[in-house]
């Protein structure tokens, strides 16, 4: 594009540098110091990977990581199934009573303060007498990540030509078979992106998990937070760097999936 | 293509609908469909015959696509019934009906190859893979897209997509093929050629085609019979010639082709088969072919004359006879094969008259603002009572 007033180049660069510094400098510091040879977190004493090695022998941290991954996968699975279902209901069932209300309600958890989500879920679990632990965290994570899946899948469904599903039915598919053979393959990348997003949300969560967890179910963020209160060790930097790596990979995968899907739809 | 039904079987030179003994394949009886306050399909009754090419013609929003979707089973009828081979279709979902649809957007499955798309319906029937492959190859030959089997839809041109959609809809050998604006997405350049091919394929497969279109030239070019829809109602059904030569109403006459309409009053019948009318625009009066229905003197009617039935002569004819009007040329459109003259009459009406450019008389002495005489034969003038 040409024409229109343009900032002098140096302004653009300055602003961008500032923004990205704000965003990524803290993260960069964590990653850099995870390779610090010193036991002191803020004093650089040469490159080392020994903290990554010592992670492997930190039993409580490893246990917490296993629990986090289990909860993440399970809650993401539940969120994906329910979230996709909700998206289909909202886009495909046609007008029904309360549809607009439900449509708005789907977005509410996106902006709901986590502390409220956590507290209300805790009250619910106590009220129905559910033992707090692994399953309550899984349910809680599925609950708040479901709406992210719905939003992603809904965005894809509204761009999907309705006549594709009708064509499948016209060619002999029952509505259910048409969903499996045509709709699901076409929204699969959005569903997969939703799953990855739900997974990262679950892996990241500290607030909600702290509210609804019980004895014996400590997630990785909870463990890290607990240890950090006693002082940040290079080991924590190392485990955080691993987490950052995992989350970045998941988000990249989701982005690549969406981009590829978009390119395939637009054609060469 | 290898079909259980041999091609051309039951195909007669006689139009099926003209044979009183012919049994309709589809009977549509008093069908209605309402969306809120809007009646999209208003009390439509229609018989469709085996192996005929039927076009539903009408402006957008006239209910023709809704009627097509009701046949396919995507829209329920609020009242009335649709019978295929004397079986009421009301209880059948789209996937249970022996009718297939070609969608306006083609609706090709983007995640499947051309072969996967064409074979989709066959796969649902649980046919063996080898049989499906053979049938897909036959269908691809039928619509002339051999060699594209492994392409994805986004790698195809518009014309190729249309052929894949046609092959896919024909794959299950439906009794009726429903086509929703099949030419709408094509270049005007390849449209007439595709119309011809579609008619050939229809003839070879012996399938009943129901084509929805808003394009009257397309309907005239392809159809054995045309049903004209307006405002949800089926206002006229007939062969292309019926519709063009004997439109049922002013609306049909205006919608199908170009027409000059004179509002006139019935006076009497001077000659057998003719009727005399008074029209303020034509001092010498009008004479037109007598319509089938009764006419009363003093009844207001319209006299319709097609532009190509108008004769344009330079200068002013001395005697002001019947079916003779005087005016000046206000515009000339040269269309290559035809020249269309707009002639402004003294009474304020503008006629259009088209003249074939046959190389002998083209444009002779006819320019803008030339005074001309326009005349037409009584047998070219139709009386429209509604």
* Chosen domain end from B251, B274, B309: B251
Give the pLDDT mean for A231-252: 84
Structure tokens at B141: 């030959």
CA distances, A2 to each of A5, A9, A196, B96 (Å): 9, 15, 39, 58
B93 and chain A in contact, CB less than 8 A: yes
Q: Which residues of B touch A181 (CB under 8 A)?
A: 120
Using alpha carbons, select from A243, A106, A168 the residue that is nearest to residue B110. Answer: A168
Q: Is there a domain that residue B183 lies in? A: yes
d(CA B158, CA B194): 12
* Chosen domain end from B232, B251, B270: B251
In the prediction, which pLDDT does A233 show?
78
Give the pLDDT mean for A55-84: 91
Asked if the model's pLDDT at residue B332 lies above 70, the reply is: yes
**Chain B interface disruption, residue of A172, A181, A260, most B CBs within 10 A:** A172
Considering the domain architecture, whether residues B239 and B262 belong to the same structural domain is answered as no
Considering the domain architecture, whether residues B189 and B65 belong to the same structural domain is answered as yes
In the prediction, which pLDDT does B7 show?
41
Give the pLDDT mean for B329-350: 87
CATH 1.10.3720.10 fits A57-266, yes or no: yes
Considering the domain architecture, whether residues B230 and B379 belong to the same structural domain is answered as no
Q: Collapse the DSSP code of B370 into the 3-class scheme (helix H, G, I; strand E, B; otherwise coil) and give the result.
A: coil
User: Residues with Cβ < 8 Å from A101, sequence gap 6 or more?
Assistant: none
Q: A189: nearest CA in chain B? A: B111
Q: A174: nearest CA in chain B? A: B95
CATH number at residue B373: 2.40.50.140
Sketch the domain layout of chain A as residue ranges: 57-266
Residue range(s) defining the domain that contains residue B317: 258-384
ipTM: 0.79
pLDDT per residue over B53-67, tens digit each?
A: 999 999 988 999 999
Closest residue to A186, CB basis, from B100, B110, B168: B110
Q: Could you tell me how far CA B34 lies from the centroid of its own chain?
A: 24
Q: Is there a domain that residue B11 lies in? A: no
Q: Is there a domain that residue B134 lies in? A: no
Q: Is there a domain that residue B307 lies in? A: yes
* Chosen domain end from B223, B251, B279: B251
Asked if the model's pLDDT at residue A256 lies above 80, the reply is: yes
Is the Cβ pair A185, B111 closer than 8 Å? Answer: yes
Phi, psi of B176 (to 5 degrees): -135, 135
Q: A167: nearest CA in chain B? A: B107
Interior CA angle at B166 toward A188 and B145, to 5°?
90
**Start-to-end Cα distance in chain A:** 23
CA distances, B91 to each of B71, B81, B210 (Å): 12, 11, 21
Handedness of CA A107, A109, A110, A112 (dihedral sign): positive
Asked if the model's pLDDT at residue A160 lies above 60, the reply is: yes
Asked if the model's pLDDT at residue A169 lies above 50, the reply is: yes
Q: B120: nearest CA in chain A? A: A171
In the prediction, which pLDDT does A263 show?
67
Asked if the model's pLDDT at residue B133 lies above 90, the reply is: yes
Q: Which residues pair with B261 in a beta bridge?
A: B304
In the prediction, which pLDDT does B18 show?
64
Considering the domain architecture, whether residues B245 and B277 belong to the same structural domain is answered as no
**Start-to-end Cα distance in chain B:** 47
Confirm whether pTM is higher than 0.90.
no
Is the Cβ pair A174, B95 closer than 8 Å? Answer: yes
Q: Which of residues 96-135 of B touch A (CB under 8 A)?
A: 100-101, 103-105, 107, 109-111, 120-121, 124-125
Sheet holding B79-84, edge to edge: B38-48, B26-35, B79-84, B87-88
| pLDDT band for position A267 (cuts 50, 70, 90) | very low
Residue B318 burial (CB count, 10 A): 7
């Amino acid at each position: 594009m040409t024409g229109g007033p343009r900032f002098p180049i140096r302004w653009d660069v300055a602003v961008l540098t500032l923004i990205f510094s704000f965003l990524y400098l803290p993260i960069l510091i964590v990653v850099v110091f995870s390779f610090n040879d010193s036991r002191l977190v803020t004093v650089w004493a040469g490159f080392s990977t020994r903290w990554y090695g010592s992670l492997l022998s930190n039993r409580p941290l490893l246990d917490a990581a296993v629990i986090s991954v289990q909860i993440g996968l399970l809650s993401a699975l539940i969120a994906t199934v329910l979230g996709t279902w909700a998206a289909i209901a909202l886009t495909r069932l046609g007008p029904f009573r309360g549809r607009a209300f439900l449509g708005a309600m789907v977005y509410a958890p996106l902006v709901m303060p986590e502390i409220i989500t956590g507290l209300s879920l805790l009250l619910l679990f106590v009220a129905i007498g559910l033992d707090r632990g692994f399953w309550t965290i899984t349910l809680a994570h599925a609950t708040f990540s479901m709406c992210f899946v719905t939003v992603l899948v809904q965005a894809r469904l509204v761009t999907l030509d309705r006549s594709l599903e009708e064509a499948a039915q016209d060619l002999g598919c029952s509505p259910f078979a048409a969903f499996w053979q045509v709709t699901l393959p076409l929204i699969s990348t959005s569903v997969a992106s939703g799953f990855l997003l739900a997974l990262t949300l679950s892996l990241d969560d500290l607030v909600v998990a702290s509210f609804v967890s019980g004895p014996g179910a400590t997630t990785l963020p909870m463990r890290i937070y607990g240890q950090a209160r006693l002082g940040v060790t290079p080991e924590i930097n190392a485990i955080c760097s691993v987490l950052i790596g995992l989350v970045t990979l998941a988000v990249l995968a989701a982005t690549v999936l969406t981009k590829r899907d978009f390119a395939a739809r637009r054609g060469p | 293509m290898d079909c259980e039904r041999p091609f051309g079987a039951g195909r007669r030179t006689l139009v099926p609908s003209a044979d009183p003994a012919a049994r309709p394949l589809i009977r549509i009886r008093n069908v209605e469909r309402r969306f809120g306050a809007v009646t999209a399909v208003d009390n439509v009754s229609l018989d469709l015959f085996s192996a005929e090419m039927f076009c539903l013609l009408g402006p957008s929003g006239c209910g023709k696509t809704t009627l097509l979707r009701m046949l396919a089973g995507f829209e329920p009828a609020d009242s009335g019934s649709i019978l295929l081979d004397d079986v009421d279709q009301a209880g059948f979902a789209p996937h249970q009906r022996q009718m297939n649809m070609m969608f306006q957007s083609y609706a090709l499955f983007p995640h499947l190859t051309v072969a996967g798309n064409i074979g989709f319906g066959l796969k649902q029937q649980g046919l063996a893979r080898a049989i499906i492959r053979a049938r897909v190859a036959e269908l691809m030959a039928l619509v002339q897209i051999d060699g594209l089997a492994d392409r994805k839809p986004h790698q195809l041109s518009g014309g190729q997509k249309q052929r894949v959609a046609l092959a896919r809809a024909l794959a299950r050998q439906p009794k009726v093929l429903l086509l929703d604006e099949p030419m709408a997405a094509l270049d005007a350049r390849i449209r007439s050629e595709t119309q011809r091919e579609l008619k050939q394929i229809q003839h070879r497969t012996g399938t009943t085609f129901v084509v929805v279109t808003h394009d009257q030239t397309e309907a005239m070019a392809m159809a054995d019979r045309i049903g004209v829809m307006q405002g949800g109602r089926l206002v006229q059904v007939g062969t292309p010639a019926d519709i063009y030569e004997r439109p049922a109403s002013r609306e049909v006459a205006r919608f199908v082709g170009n027409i000059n309409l004179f509002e006139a009053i019935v006076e009497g019948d001077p000659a057998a088969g003719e009727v005399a009318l008074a029209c303020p625009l034509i001092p010498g009066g009008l004479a037109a072919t007598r319509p089938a229905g009764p006419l009363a003197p003093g009844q207001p009617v319209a006299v319709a004359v097609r532009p190509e039935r108008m004769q344009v002569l330079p200068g002013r004819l001395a005697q002001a006879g019947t079916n003779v009007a005087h005016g000046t040329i206000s515009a000339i459109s040269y269309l290559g094969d035809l020249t269309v003259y707009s002639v402004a009459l003294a009474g304020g009406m503008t006629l259009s008259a088209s003249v074939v450019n046959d190389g002998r008389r083209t444009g002779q002495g006819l320019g803008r603002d030339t005074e001309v005489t326009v005349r037409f034969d009584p047998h070219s003038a139709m009386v429209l009572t509604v």
